[in-house]
Amino acid sequence: METTQKTPTIVRRDVRFDFGARDMGAWHPEGRHVTHFFNALSTFFPEGEVFFIDSVLHYRDRIASPELAVDVKGFTGQEGMHSREHRRYNRALAASGLPVQRLEERLKGFLDFLRRRLTPEEMLAVTIALEHYTAIMANTPLSDPRVLEGADPALAAIWRWHAIEETEHKAVAYDVYSAVMGTGMRAYLTRVYTMIGATLIFWSLVFRYHFALVRADGVATDMRGWWRLVRFLWGSPGVLRQIVRPWLSYFRPDFHPWQHDNSVLVERWKAAYAADGLAPAW
């Protein structure tokens, strides 16, 4: 489905964040279990973003729309910056004694396996499924201040920056998929069954990696910490609870990412960044 929504401009921003002299295992006020939920997600981004870029660029010669070609350039630029900054983030985690390098190597091995086994169309379907996840999860810290309220400002800044840019480019891979695969039944069924598979695999890995970080940090038996995590994800603010309905929207035959217009959140947080001086001018 095409959309006439006026989407945000996709800009590659060369932003560097400060990860020095802070407790990378306890930067969130809800404690180490919640902190490591975010940290576990970070372990996915360096290699995951490269996978997304490769999947989209495979079809660069089949993109007829000049506007979409410009958006693809912005998409790859932003994803490249995300990969770089989360590599720096993950090095700070590793320096604090967490087994991040081992987790990243496992993920890289798994993504290389997918590259060998999947067709380019299936790789792109995986990309749009996971890009939908990043978009709907990005909406929560932008729309609900409780998600990062009281967190270390420098760490909150990288997550909001990432959320802003994931929102800006949330339709790019999907539009490339539509341009390549069309909008017929085959395209629909491919993206639907891929989303189901991606969901099962993604969350099984996230929580496996999360437990590895929690265990390495010595808090695996802290039941209060686990309760605070459950409350954070499913109660208040309910990070995962908030994404259930947007996730289900993906299964509509006429789905398009910009049917959920949250571009106003992008502009609001860009202004907040400028006011706080946490990043260069947007």
Number of domains in the chain: 1
Please check whether residue 12 lies inside any domain of the structure: no
pLDDT of residue 13: 87
d(C-alpha 212, C-alpha 207), whole Å: 8
What range defines the domain where residue 259 resides?
32-276
Please check whether residue 9 lies inside any domain of the structure: no
Q: What is the domain-level CATH number for residue 102?
A: 1.10.620
Please check whether residue 23 lies inside any domain of the structure: no
pLDDT of residue 278: 54
Please check whether residue 2 lies inside any domain of the structure: no
Peptide bond into 237 cis (omega under 30): yes
Please check whether residue 17 lies inside any domain of the structure: no
Please check whether residue 26 lies inside any domain of the structure: no
pLDDT of residue 5: 53
pLDDT of residue 275: 59
d(C-alpha 188, C-alpha 129), whole Å: 12
d(C-alpha 44, C-alpha 86), whole Å: 9
Please check whether residue 282 lies inside any domain of the structure: no
Average pLDDT for runs of 10 along the chain of length 282: 60 88 94 98 97 97 95 96 96 97 97 97 98 97 96 93 95 97 96 98 98 98 98 98 98 96 85 60 38
Please check whether residue 267 lies inside any domain of the structure: yes
d(C-alpha 282, C-alpha 274), whole Å: 7
